[in-house]
Chains A and B, each alone.
Chain A
Amino acid sequence: MDIINRKKALVEEFSPMLEKYSKLTKLWIAFLIAVIIIGMVAFVLQVMYGHEITGMRDNVVWGIYIINFIFFVGISYSGAFISGILHFFKTPWKNSISRIVEIMTVIAMVIGPVFILLCIGRLDRLHYLFIYPRIQSPITWDIIAVITDLIACFLYLYLTFIPDLAILRDNSENLNLPKWQKKMYKFLAIRYQDTPSQRHRLHKITRTMSTIVIVLAIVAYSVLAWIFSLTLQPGWNSTIFAPNFIIAGLYSGISVIIISMYFIRRQFKLEHYIFQKHFVIAGIILQILALLFGYFTFTDYFSKWFSTKIDDTILLNSLFSRYFIEFILANYIGILVPVLVIFFKKLRTVKMITFAAVIALLGLWLNRYLLVVPSLENPFLPIQETGPEYIHYSATWIEYSLSFTGIAAFLLIFTLLAKFVPIIPMSGIIENEEFKAKRIQKKDSPDEFDV
C-alpha cells in the first residue's frame, strides 16, 4: 500500500535528524551542559550558604527567580493553549509547528517550577506542602495547578506522539539507532497499528485533552497571576493581572515558537515543511498579541497614573526615574517593534519576524521584572533600612547563572527530544496528504475520522 511506503519514505527522510549528531550539535550540547554545570555549582552554593548569597532581601523577597518562573510557566501555558487551539480547530497548516509547540510546552513546564523552588528557603521541608496543606493559599492552588497541568501536558504530548512512534517502530530496522531507543519506540507505541477504530479513538481523546489543556492553561496561569494580585501590595493588587498574564504568556509563547521555528528550520533544513507562510501567520498572531498586551499594560499603568493614590504614584515615579530605561525597553520597544515589523509588508521576512520575536521575548521578560521588583521596592510603608541591599534589588551571579541554566536546560531537552522523534509529525504529513487526496476524489464523502 501507498501509506506503508510513504511511511517508510518519511522515516528515511527524517532519519538524519534522528541518527546523526553532527560536530556542531555535539559542541552545542557540550556548551549547554557546561552552562548547566555552572548553574549546579551556583545551586550548591545557594543551598550551602543560604539565600544570603542571592540579591534577595527583606523587601524584594522574590527576585529574578520568580520572574523566570512566571516567564517559563507562561511559555508553557501559552504553548498548551496554542497547541490546543491548533488541534481543536484542525488548522491545516498546523502540522509543521504543532510538535514544536507541544515539546516547548512540556519542557517549559518542567523547568519553570524549578525556579519557584529556588525561592524557597527550606527545600528540605517541601513535603510540608502536602502534609499540612491550606487550600486558602494561592501557593497551594498553584501547586495543584502546576502538577495537574504537567500531567495534562505530558499526556497530551504522548497522545500526539503515538502515531509517529508506531511509524518509527515499524520502520526502525534500517535506522542506525541504539537498541534502547528502538525498544522505547516499541513500548511507547502501545501496539498502535493505525486501524480506523484505533485512529478514531486516539483522535477522540486527543481532542478532549486539547480542550482540557486549553482550560487548564487559563486556570493555571490565572492562579499564577493571583499569587501577585491577591496581595495588597501596591502595583500588584489589580484585577487586570490575570488576563494580562494570559496575554503576556501567549505573547511570549508565540515568540518562542517563532524563534524555535527559525532555528529548527535552519538546523534541519526543513524549508519545505516550515514555509515563510508559517512565519507570517505566527507573525500576525504576534502582532495581535503585541497590541493586546500593549493595551492591557497601558490600561494597568494608565489607571494607576490617572489616579491620585499615593502608593501608585510613588511606584510610577520609580518606574519613570530609576527604571526608566527598562520601562521604555519593556513597554515601548518590546511592543512597538513586533507591531511595526509585521505592519510593513516588506519587513515580513523570516529573519525580521524572528528578530521581532526576540525583541518581544526580551521585552516581556523585562516587563515581568518591572512588575515584580519595583512593586516590592515600594511597599505601603516607606523602606527605611540601613543596608543598601535592603533598599534596592540587584541580582547576583548566582541568580543569573541559575537563570541561564534554566534556558540551557530548555534548549538541551529540546535538542535531545528532537533526536528522539521527528520534529515534524509524520503521521500529520500523511493525514494531510490523505485529506487532500480525498478532497480531490470526492468532495461530499463523510469523513473517515473525526473533524
Chain B
Amino acid sequence: MEDQNTNSRRKFLKLGLISGVTAMAGASLVSCSSEEKKPESGEKMRLLTPDGKIVEVDASNINKYPEALITPAESRKGIPDRKFVMVIDLAKCSNARTCVESCQKAHNLDSDQEFMKIQLIQNNENTEPYWFPKPCYHCDEPPCVTVCPTGATFKREDNIVLIDNQRCIGCKFCMTSCPYSARQFNWGHKAKYDKKDQPYSPETSVPGAEGTVVKCDFCPDLLRQGLLPHCAKACPNGVIYFGDKNEDIVTNGEESFQFSKLITDRGGYRHLEHLGTKPNVYYLPPVDKQYPVERGFENEEEINERYKNVPYVKELKKQGKI
C-alpha cells in the first residue's frame, strides 16, 4: 500500500503536475497539505521554534529526493506538452544581481561562476547603454547540441537544453559554438563536486563534476513543481517573465501576461536573431527605463570593473562620476 503510494507520488512529481497543476498552483491561495511545498534543494534549512531555539533541518527532510529525482535518462524527455519561454524586460533591469545570486545559491556555484550574467550593452556610442541579463537561450536550433560528439547536451521536447555531466567528456566544442557565451567549464577540482547527499540530475545541475560543461538549465526541477526558476522568482523588479508558450502565459511571480500579446505590444525581440539559432528567450526593449543606468553601479567595485570598456562607462569615469 505504502509502496503504491510513494510510487504514485513519484509519478505525480515527475509528470510535472500535468493534471495536478491547477490544484497545485491554486494552492498559493487555497489549501493543500503544507508539507508538499517549497523545497530549497540540497541545503540546510533553518527554523525558529517558539521558545527561541534555532534548529537546522536537513534539506533531505523537506526535499522530495529521492522520489522526485529525475535521472539523466529521464531528463532527456522533457515535461510533456510544454514549450518554455522566458521574457526579459530590459526596461526594468537595474543590475541588482539578485537573479545571479539566487541562481548561484541554488546551483551551488562559486561567486565567479554565473549561469545568468548581467552585461552592460551599449549598441553604439550615441545610444544609452542598458543592463542585459543573459541566461542560456535554450535555442530551438541549438548549435551547441549539434556539435556535441557524445550527446551529453541535448534538446528536449519542452524547449529546454540540458547537459548531462555524467556523459560530458569536456571537449568544450559546445562552448565555442555557442554564439552567446552561455556555457562555462568546471576547470578545477572542488570539494563540493564530491558531495553526494543529493543525487545528480541534469535538471538540477547539482552536484557539478570537474572537467565538464555547465550552463543555465531553466530550473526544470522547480518547473515540475509549478514554481518559477530561481532567477525569475528572485528578481525584485520583476524583470524576468517565464512561462509555457503552449498555453501562452508568462509570469514574473507578481503579474502575468499573455506571451504573444506581451511581445507584440512591447516590441519583443530575440538577441542576435540573424544567427538563426531561434532562441527561446525574448527581450522587451529598454524603453522608458524605470531606473537610470547608474543604479547598476551600486555593486562591489570588482563587478563594476567588468564594464570598464563600455564607452558610456569610460565617459562617466572621465567626468569623475564613478
- A residues whose Cβ falls under 8 Å from a Cβ of B: 49-53, 56-59, 61-62, 119-122, 125-126, 128-129, 131-134, 136-140, 143, 227-228, 230-233, 236, 376, 379-387
Taking CB as reference atom, which chain A residue is nearest B113? A58
Choose among A53, A137, A379, A383 the residue that contacts B173 (Cβ–Cβ < 8 A): A137
Taking CB as reference atom, which chain B residue is nearest A227? B173
Q: Are B177 and A233 in contact (CB under 8 A)?
A: yes
Q: Are B171 and A119 in contact (CB under 8 A)?
A: yes
Min CB distance B266 to A, Å, is 22
**Other than the known A128-B169, A129-B169, what 8 A-B pairs have Cβ atoms closer than 8 Å?**
A61-B176, A119-B172, A125-B150, A125-B167, A129-B149, A137-B147, A233-B176, A386-B302
Taking CB as reference atom, which chain B residue is nearest A385? B306
* Cα distance, A56 to B167, chains bound together (Å): 22
- B residues whose Cβ falls under 8 Å from a Cβ of A: 112, 117, 119-121, 134, 143, 146-152, 167-173, 175-177, 179-181, 183-189, 209-212, 272, 275, 277, 302-303, 305-307, 309-310
Complex interface: chain A residues within 8 A of B180 (CB): 380-381
Q: Are A132 and B212 in contact (CB under 8 A)?
A: no
Q: Are A380 and B176 in contact (CB under 8 A)?
A: no
Q: Which of B168, B175, B305 has the most CB of A within 10 A?
A: B175
23 contacts between A and B (CB under 8 A): A51-B185, A52-B187, A61-B175, A120-B170, A121-B171, A122-B211, A133-B149, A134-B150, A134-B151, A137-B147, A143-B149, A230-B147, A231-B177, A232-B277, A236-B176, A379-B179, A381-B121, A381-B181, A383-B181, A384-B120, A384-B306, A384-B307, A386-B303
Complex interface: chain A residues within 8 A of B121 (CB): 381-382
Q: Are A121 and B275 in contact (CB under 8 A)?
A: no
Mostly, the B contact residues are loop
Known contacts A51-B211, A120-B169; decide if A232 and B119 are in contact (CB<8 Å). no
Mostly, the A contact residues are loop
Min CB distance B316 to A, Å, is 16
Taking CB as reference atom, which chain A residue is nearest B144? A231
Complex interface: chain A residues within 8 A of B189 (CB): 49-50, 52
Q: Are A51 and B188 in contact (CB under 8 A)?
A: yes
Q: Are A136 and B150 in contact (CB under 8 A)?
A: no
Q: Are B134 and A381 in contact (CB under 8 A)?
A: yes
Q: Are A132 and B151 in contact (CB under 8 A)?
A: yes
Taking CB as reference atom, which chain B residue is nearest A143? B149
Q: Are B172 and A386 in contact (CB under 8 A)?
A: no
* Cα distance, A52 to B211, chains bound together (Å): 9
Q: Are B188 and A49 in contact (CB under 8 A)?
A: yes
* Cα distance, A138 to B184, chains bound together (Å): 21
Q: Are B185 and A232 in contact (CB under 8 A)?
A: no
Known contacts A51-B211, A143-B149; decide if A386 and B112 are in contact (CB<8 Å). yes
* Cα distance, A119 to B172, chains bound together (Å): 8
* Cα distance, A49 to B187, chains bound together (Å): 9
Q: Name the 6 nearest CB pairs between A and B, nearest first.
A: A121-B170, A121-B211, A52-B188, A139-B149, A61-B172, A231-B177
Taking CB as reference atom, which chain B residue is nearest A48? B189
Q: Are B187 and A51 in contact (CB under 8 A)?
A: yes
Q: Are A139 and B175 in contact (CB under 8 A)?
A: no
* Cα distance, A207 to B83, chains bound together (Å): 57
Min CB distance B275 to A, Å, is 6
Known contacts A61-B176, A139-B171; decide if A122 and B212 are in contact (CB<8 Å). yes
Taking CB as reference atom, which chain A residue is nearest B122? A382
Min CB distance B54 to A, Å, is 34
Min CB distance A156 to B, Å, is 27
Known contacts A233-B176, A233-B177, A384-B119; decide if A121 and B148 are in contact (CB<8 Å). no
